[in-house]
Amino acid sequence: MTRAIALVSVLVFVGCGTASRYPAFDLQYPASSSAALAFVLARVQTAPTAETSAVAVLLPTPPAQGFTVVELPSGRRLGQVGAPVDGRPVVLGDLVLAHVHNTVTAWSLEGIQRWSVPDGGGLALDGAARDGDRVVITLGGMGVTQRDGALVIVDARTGAASTRLRVVHALGSPAAVGGYAVVPWDGQNLSLFDLDGGAEVARVRSRDDVISFARREGPALYFGARALYRFAPDDASGERAAAVPYTFTHEGIPGTPPFSRDGYIAARGGIDARGRVRLAWRPDPSLAGAGVTDATVYAVFYRDVFALDAASGAVRWAYVHPTDIAGVEVVHGGLVLVDEQGRAAMLAAADGRAAWRADLGASVAQAVFQLPLEFVPPSNGGDAPRGRVDGLLDAAGGTDTRLLPAQIFAVRALAAMDLPEATRALVAIVDHRSFPRDLRAAAGDALAHRTTGADAMIEALDTHYNYVRQTEAPAVGLLARGIAAAHDTHGVAALVSHLDDPATPMAELPPLVAALRELNDPAALPALVDFVRFYHADVGAVPPVGGGDAIDDRQGPDQDLLSAAMEQAVLAIAHMGSAADQRVLDDLLADPNTPQSVRVATAHARGGHAETTEETPDGEPVHHDPTPPTFHVPPAQLSGDDINDAFAPQREALLACLDNAPSRPAQVRMEFFYASDGTVSHVTVIPAAFQPCMAPIAERVRLPVSLVGREIGTYNFNTTAP
Amino acid sequence: MRVVMLVLAAGVALAPAVVTAQPSRRPAVHAHSPAPPGGATSTGAPEGSIPPIDPVNHWDTTDSDELIAHIQRAALGPPGPAARAIAGTLLSGVTPRVAATGLDALGALGRVEGTEAVLRFLDHRRASLRRHAVAAAAGIHSRPLVRALEARLGDGDADVRAEAAAALGDHDVGDHASLAPLWSAFDRDLNAALRPDGSQLAHNACVSIAKIGTVEDIDRLLGYLRRAPFGTMSDAFRAALERQDIPEATKLRIVQSVGDLATIEARAFLLTYANPRGHAPAPLAEAARTAAAHIGEPSP
């Protein structure tokens, strides 16, 4: 009886009181109570779900126009439209809606135009939803800051408008369920309008989050932007903590896609990067709260798909498609995709295998789906099982330069796997000289932290350069770092073999010798002693065979690298060597042909000071303070993370450069040279307006020491988020 | 080279010493140059009892000019002790100028005592010194050095590998085991060379095969007549035709195969070979003239 009275009072509140006192979208409209939201929820949960066809709407590659509707999984063409659609269509049961010219037009799945409504003058289609025979359309499309929108409710059969509201608000992507139009607006509001009269009957106002979309999934209503909320009475507080949304905030996802498409920005109709670099997920109404289907979030990056654990963000599998993916939709048990050549597939959520494939026979710029959550195509994929490591290795490989962020993401995922196979995969990446240097450096950095799988690194060192055999030298320096990190002395012989191999690039020698030093294995001593003895005086020109002027065939940086390697060797000999070995160091000190830096290191190692030939301008001898031995081998070059970390302390100073700027870019790009000692120079700032302020700050940054001679670095300063 | 000439002028014997040593300073972890196809290694098998060379500077100076003078003077003395002194000094670490001089001297001395030092310099990081070492290895041509020369066919420097290929064809340097790596180098470079006249490695390997190969190798070379640049093939065939140990029947096949090409270059080759002032046996010279006649005069 008590519940009945309460329900009646809520009915009065929702159906009459508030609606009659405030016009729609009125800023004075109060946030609805839990009871009011409970009433709405009850209607949502009991609202009938219409049977819909499984279809894909395929937008052709420009300059072709229009779209094709294809039935899935059969691939049968249902209809085709040639109209110059200028936005992403929306499929609503047996209708396809799209913005064309100054209208929003509806076609049947067979391509027959049903009706058309004006867009209100320059407004784009934000989104549309359908509840029975009513269609809710929101217009605007210029972003949440452009407060100009329209809400239109029309008859699905005739297009006759029952509600048409032009408002000074930004409207997001709507839902329609239980007789309500559910409309996000101005970033923080979610209003529910009576589909029959257009009156606002309830409102959720977020105090600490953003709302840009509403979405119905079976008996549940969801909304959110950076998080997924399941509509519930707890939303009345407007506080995120009370509502317990699902969030996916893991960093490093390739392309840094947002959690959801911005419902305030109209989606384009042609090739749209936002559709090709995105997170794909679908609410799972069978869960008690907010959550996603199969507990999986899919990260799509052009051709790559990574299935990520919805809670931890860990990579479950990786899949590389032959061509760019034009559209995806999540269903129970997997991800359905269509690529730009019109090939469809469904990747199993469990392992990424293609359980179903079909050729839709069209060139596709973008694909939009209407698929029931329980869509199950016939199994015809036939893909062999592939392990997670294999998939990640595929994703890390290739020569498509656009995919570098995904490749590095795959490398990091491999690095997170404490498996020998993962180490082997990282070794394969490091050794693949045609792969981008950043990628190989990332894999090398990962190897330097491995504790398992050193065998793979040692095996990789079995290969030497040979012109006749057409074998390339492995990435000795990176592998050496990994072996040293794993402290596997079984690698000493292999490392020594590359120390003596003239095909080992000079840049690889310092990390190689440093690794031998770190391994601290006396078995390396004879090689190290021989190395410093043999090369300590190797400075200067060589007369060619057969006579002629002597030529110095060693470039400046190469001599520095050789000296750096000898310095490391000297330290190792001083630490491990016998008295006879120490005498070799004394011979080095006594030989004036020994490079100064090696003499200094030797003197330091022997506990004395090197005689110097360098003088100050005043004629005083220069004494070098040798760098104390470090047990970290400098990287061959710096990674993006190294640069980001080094710039981080300057963030506030850089942000101050944006004060009073006429426009505040989301990102400022800085390109510069950096040297092996980490100094930054020749900074170019884009946009150039910030050059005078930011360049001096960037030049104060000191990057980590590396083995580069002089390298170009890039720092993308994100002005919106740290 | 000037040192070599000096040494030659001083009457240093160039005859190869009997190979009796297999140096190995660091057997536990010593680097092995990658073996070329055919399985040869840079170090080869032990051959004798020459004691290892101590990596010690035998002259009490590190001054390059003084060391060069010492090396030149030593090369005029007893060759065995000279080679040991030079080799030890080179292994102790010297400037590149001294190393080049020392290697040239070791090559001219041709003593097996120089093997260890030359082996080390065949793996030197400077390609210029590896080239000096290749020349020295050809001069000494102990078995380990021949194996090391074969390994240098896979060197990263084009000049080093080309000179190693040429050295293996020198008198008494390459042996039967050298043929497989030479063939591999020839095939590899034939496929890789972009120049119409081929590459120096392919040329030198081909000529060396012709110089040291068997009758079967010569017959196999004939199969390359339309695939390899004619300049390379003609130099190789010229070398084969000059060999005393190749039967006339094989030489006749060379003449006929070249004649079958029916090109201006083939005709010139045959006529040069048939030149009465040459050393071609009469039947072969006649066959060459006949084959050239079938090709006919080139158009003006």
Q: What is the DSSP secondary-structure string of A337-372?
A: EEETTSEEEEEETTT--EEEEEE--S--SEEEEE--
* Interchain proximity B132–A542, CB inside 8 Å: yes
- CB-CB neighbors (< 8 A) of B188 in chain A: 467-468, 470
- The partner residue sitting opposite B126, judged by closest CB among A496, A553, A587, is A553
- For residues A425, A427, A428, A434, the Cα torsion angle rounded to the nearest 10 degrees is 130
Q: DSSP characters for B82-147?
A: HHHHHHHHHHT---HHHHHHHHHHHHHHT-GGGHHHHHHHHT-S-HHHHHHHHHHHHHH--HHHHH
> What's residue A464's pLDDT?
95
Interfacial B residues in 36-95 facing A (CB < 8 Å): 36-37, 55, 62, 64, 91-95
Mean pLDDT, rounded, for A13-27: 63
Mutation target to probe the A interface, by most A beta carbons within 10 A, among B92, B94, B125 is: B125
Task: Using the predicted structure, report yes or no on whether residue A12 has a pLDDT greater than 50.
Answer: no
| Maximum CA extent, chain A | 113
Q: Would you give the DSSP letter of residue A523?
A: G
Mean pLDDT, rounded, for A553-558: 80
> What's residue A11's pLDDT?
38
Tokens of B149: 């020369």
Q: In Å, how far is A482's CA from the nearest CA of chain B?
A: 20
Task: Using the predicted structure, report yes or no on whether residue A273 has a pLDDT greater than 90.
Answer: no
The mean of the pLDDT values for chain A is: 89
Q: Would you give the DSSP letter of residue A705?
A: P
The amino acid present at B161, given as its one-letter code, is R
Q: How far apart are CA A149 and CA A137, in angstroms?
A: 11
State percent of chain A over pLDDT 90: 63
- CA-atom Rg of chain B in angstroms: 22
In order of A41, A294, A438, the CA distances from B89 in angstroms are 93, 73, 44
Confidence of residue B300 (pLDDT cuts 50, 70, 90): low
> What's residue B232's pLDDT?
93
Q: In Å, how far is B166's CA from the nearest CA of chain A?
A: 14
Interfacial A residues in 461-500 facing B (CB < 8 Å): 464-471, 492-493, 496-500
- The partner residue sitting opposite B97, judged by closest CB among A498, A542, A547, is A542
- The partner residue sitting opposite B2, judged by closest CB among A497, A506, A547, is A547
Task: Using the predicted structure, report yes or no on whether residue A497 has a pLDDT greater than 90.
Answer: yes
- The partner residue sitting opposite A503, judged by closest CB among B1, B30, B156, is B156
Give the A:B interface size as CB pairs under 8 Å. Answer: 141
Q: Are A440 and B125 in contact (CB under 8 A)?
A: no
Taking the Cβ of residue B27 and every Cβ of chain A, the question of whether any pair is shorter than 8 Å is answered with no
Task: Using the predicted structure, report yes or no on whether residue B24 has a pLDDT greater than 50.
Answer: no
Task: Using the predicted structure, report yes or no on whether residue B117 has a pLDDT greater than 70.
Answer: yes
CA A637 from chain centre, in angstroms, equals 22
Interfacial A residues in 529-548 facing B (CB < 8 Å): 530, 532-547
- The partner residue sitting opposite B123, judged by closest CB among A502, A551, A593, is A502
Residue that wins the pLDDT comparison between B35 and A544: A544
Confidence of residue A10 (pLDDT cuts 50, 70, 90): very low
> What's residue B19's pLDDT?
34
Interfacial A residues in 590-649 facing B (CB < 8 Å): 590-593
Least confident window among A405-409, A682-686, B257-261: A682-686
Q: Are A592 and B62 in contact (CB under 8 A)?
A: yes
Q: Dihedral of CA A174/A178/A180/A186: which sign?
A: negative
SS3 content of chain B, % helix, strand, coil (to 5): 60, 0, 40
Q: How far apart are CA B171 and CA B183, in angstroms?
A: 18
Q: What is the pLDDT of residues A572-589, one digit of tens each?
A: 999 999 999 999 999 999
Q: Which residue in B has a C-alpha nearest to residue A548's C-alpha?
A: B1
Confidence of residue A611 (pLDDT cuts 50, 70, 90): low
- CA-atom Rg of chain A in angstroms: 33
Helix (H) or strand (E) holding A469: none
Q: How far apart are CA A299 and CA A162, in angstroms?
A: 40
Q: Are B72 and B101 in contact (CB under 8 A)?
A: yes
Confidence of residue A632 (pLDDT cuts 50, 70, 90): very low
- The partner residue sitting opposite A527, judged by closest CB among B29, B131, B188, is B29
- The partner residue sitting opposite B62, judged by closest CB among A502, A535, A592, is A592
Task: Using the predicted structure, report yes or no on whether residue B1 has a pLDDT greater than 50.
Answer: no
Q: What is the pLDDT of residues A292-342, one digit of tens each?
A: 999 999 999 999 999 999 999 999 999 999 999 999 999 999 999 999 999
Tokens of A546: 């057969």
Tokens of A479: 């592998």
Q: Are A223 and A204 in contact (CB under 8 A)?
A: yes
Taking the Cβ of residue B29 and every Cβ of chain A, the question of whether any pair is shorter than 8 Å is answered with yes
Q: Would you give the DSSP letter of residue A99?
A: E
> What's residue A386's pLDDT?
83
Task: Using the predicted structure, report yes or no on whether residue A117 has a pLDDT greater than 90.
Answer: yes
Mean pLDDT, rounded, for B88-109: 96
Nearest to B163 by CA among B132, B192, B142: B132
- CB-CB neighbors (< 8 A) of B164 in chain A: none
- CB-CB neighbors (< 8 A) of A530 in chain B: 25-26, 55
Task: Using the predicted structure, report yes or no on whether residue A17 has a pLDDT greater than 80.
Answer: no
Q: What is the pLDDT of residues A670-716, one digit of tens each?
A: 988 888 778 898 888 888 888 889 999 999 998 987 766 677 788 98
Task: Using the predicted structure, report yes or no on whether residue A171 has a pLDDT greater than 70.
Answer: yes
For the stretch A60-64, contacts whose Cβ atoms lie closer than 8 Å and that sit 24 or more positions apart, written own/partner, are: A60/A362, A60/A363, A60/A364, A60/A365, A61/A270, A61/A271, A61/A340, A61/A363, A61/A364, A61/A365, A62/A270, A62/A271, A62/A365, A64/A363
Q: How far apart are CA A228 and CA A241, in angstroms?
A: 13
Q: How far apart are CA A230 and CA A394, in angstroms?
A: 37
Mutation target to probe the B interface, by most B beta carbons within 10 A, among A461, A464, A467, A549 is: A467
Peptide bond into A174 cis (omega under 30): no
Mean pLDDT, rounded, for A487-506: 95
Q: How far apart are CA B202 and CA B185, in angstroms?
A: 7
Q: Are A439 and A404 in contact (CB under 8 A)?
A: yes
CA B100 from chain centre, in angstroms, equals 18
Q: In Å, how far is B230's CA from the nearest CA of chain A?
A: 22
- CB-CB neighbors (< 8 A) of A544 in chain B: 128, 131
Mean pLDDT, rounded, for A127-147: 95
Predicted model pTM = 0.70
Q: How far apart are CA A96 and CA B26, in angstroms?
A: 78
User: Which runs of E-coded beta strand occur in A625-718?
Assistant: 667-675, 680-686, 710-718
DSSP three-state, residue A449: coil
Taking the Cβ of residue B163 and every Cβ of chain A, the question of whether any pair is shorter than 8 Å is answered with yes
CA B219 from chain centre, in angstroms, equals 22
Q: How far apart are CA B238 and CA A314, in angstroms?
A: 69
